[in-house]
Structure formats: C-alpha cells, structure tokens
Structure 1
Amino acid sequence: MQERPSEEERRAARHETPEERADRRWSELLQEVRVAQTGVQILFGFLLTVVFTPRFAELGDTDRIIYVVTVVLGAATTGALIGPVAFHRIVTGWRLKPQTVTWASRMTLVGVVLLLVTVTSVLLLILRLAMHNAAVPWVVAGLVTWFMLCWFALPTWARHRYGTRRSGK
C-alpha cells in the first residue's frame, strides 16, 4: 500500500496556508453536501406524504414497519447532511475552520452511509408493493451493490491506486 502524503507535503503542493486550505475544502464540501441534501430532502418529503394517501391504509404490517423504518432513516440522513451547515453556523467566528471542515466531512460521510441505508429501505418498500415476488431482495441487493461500488469502492480504489498523486485534499 502506498504511503499517504504528509500534511506539509500536501500544503506545499498547492502553496496554501492552513486557513486557505480549510476555506477551499469547506467550499468543496458545501458543493458536495448541496447535491446530497437536495436529493434527500425531496425523498424525505415524498416519504412524509405517503402516510396521507389512501393506499397507505392497505399496507400490511411488514410494509408499515418498513415504511416507519424508512422515514426514521430519512430523518437521520437529513440530520446528518444538514448538520455541517448548523455546525458551521454555530462555530463561525471562533477560528475553528479546519476543525469545522473535519467534523463536517465526517457528518457528510455518515449522511452518505445513512443515505445508502435509506435508499435501500425505500427500494425494498416500493419494489415489494410493485412486484409482489421473490425477485425483490435480489433486485434490491443488486442496486445496493451498485451504489456501494459507485459511492465507496471506486473512490477507495482510486485513493489506493493514485494515492501518491494526492494533491492538497
């Protein structure tokens, strides 16, 4: 495995001060979070309306449990992905930008993991209602595998493969 560049090596590669690096990383993180937040908020909003539809009364016990779990997961995902904004707002002016970026990055990663679980739960519920057959778990498992490949495996592979070229992240 390739060795990760030191903090000094990364800073020197971009000619950034720690404050400049924190500002750049914060801007990049905000762009990433905006994409995820929008999708999660739309998904969560739709989930919240399902309980008020006539079809909800027809759901069996298992589907109701999946729905409740999905709504709770959607709320947790929303919290994790909005968390960086609240964190930043509360610590603004306290000269904690590098620490803010670190914690916001962690919350965002937790939010992405929760998003994976939320989407899995949504898929399970919707496909159970739409397909009514034994293929549902296989379809959901295939899609979860795809998400894990795109969201986690590929970036991890790239980090490992190109790690020596890491520049100022």
Structure 2
Amino acid sequence: MTAPADNRQTRSDEDPEQRADRLWLELLQEVRVAETGVQILLGFLLTVAFTPRFVDLSDVDRTIYLTTVLLGAAATGALIAPVSLHRLVTGHRLKPEAVVWGSRFTLVGLVLLLGTVASALLLILRVAASASTAGVWVGVMVVWFAVCWFLPALWLRHRDRSDTPPREERPGSNG
C-alpha cells in the first residue's frame, strides 16, 4: 500500500478502524465546544419567558423569541445526535458510518446554532436599540459568523480539490 497523497485525513500508519476512531474523537471534541455554547444560550433563553419584561414584548418579538428557542432546541438535538448515534451503534462495527453521520449532524447543528444566535441577536437588538438597526446588525453578524465558521473550510476544500485529485483517486485513500 502506498502512502496517501493527503495525510490530513488518512495516515499511512492507521487502518480504516483506527482512522474512524481518530476521526470520532476529533468530532467529539468539536461537538463539546459547540454544545457548551448552545446549552448556555438555550438555558439563558428559557429563563427569559419568566422575567417581568417578557409580558411587554410585542407579538413580533414573542414570535422571534419562540423561533429562537425552537432553533436552540433543534441545534441542541443535532449536536447531541452524534452521541446518541454512537451509543446505539457501538459494537456493530459501524464506526466509519457513525463518523460520517455524526459529522453531518454536527454541521446541521452549527447551521442551527447560527440561526439561534442570529435570532437571539435580533430580539435583543430590537428590545435594546431599534427594529431598523437590529436588522442591519444581525445581517452583519450573520455574515461574520458565516465568514468565521464556514468560508475558510469551503475555501480550503476548494483549494484542496484544485491541487489534488478527488479522495477516491488518491493512492492509499480509504474514502
């Protein structure tokens, strides 16, 4: 077996099972970071409904609040999904597939987290500033998060694709 052209994902000294184990551990570390953030945000959001000022919110602001809570709950579900998936398939020799699905759930969770943060910012800025400035700042922040969270990865993947053949065609690649 020849050494892989791209050792960032596949190392020459690991078999597919070892690779899956390594990728799974990396995924869990990533999920821990994102999940902590979404849990803190969701916990804060859940307390808002019990504050005295909540009854003064307009119908639009209540809708934004409910949307924010639901997005936060959905993000929590997606970010916890890899743990549940792993627990349910452990012992069935499905770790490579679990890594792929866990990765997908994590990406969905990050997109939902972006929606949660954006709508929470919208609500806070509508209450603290004004509706007109809130929309502008939320737009700026969504672009900022997208630039930080997604653009570098997309750029690196595009650059990687243009510099090297697809993964299936790389020598020693396991997919």
TM-score normalised per structure 2: 0.86
Distance 1:73 1:13 in 2: 37
Cα offsets for 1:17-51 (capped at 9, x unmatched):
00000000000000000000000000000111100
2:24 alignment counterpart: 26
Cα offsets for 1:59-82 (capped at 9, x unmatched):
011000000111111100000000
Runs of at least 5 residues in structure 2 that lack an aligned partner in the other structure: 168-172
Distance 1:108 1:117 in 2: 14
Flag as ranges the 4+ runs of structure 1 deviating above 6 A.
Answer: none
Task: Kindly indicate whether structure 1 or structure 2 has the higher relative contact order, using CA contacts under 8 Å at least 6 residues apart.
Answer: 1
1:58-97 → structure 2 map (5 Å cutoff): 58-97=56-95
2:142 corresponds to which of 141, 144, 149: 144
Q: Secondary structure, in 3 states, of the residue corresponding to 1:87?
A: helix
More helix by share: 1
TM-score normalised per structure 1: 0.89
Identical counterparts, % of pairs: 60
Q: 133-142 or 80-89, which moves further after superposition?
A: 133-142
1:126 alignment counterpart: 124
2:153 alignment counterpart: 155
Distance 2:22 2:11 in 1: 14
- Root-mean-square deviation (CA, aligned residues, Å) is 2.1
Kindly tell me the number of residue pairs found equivalent between the two proteins: 162
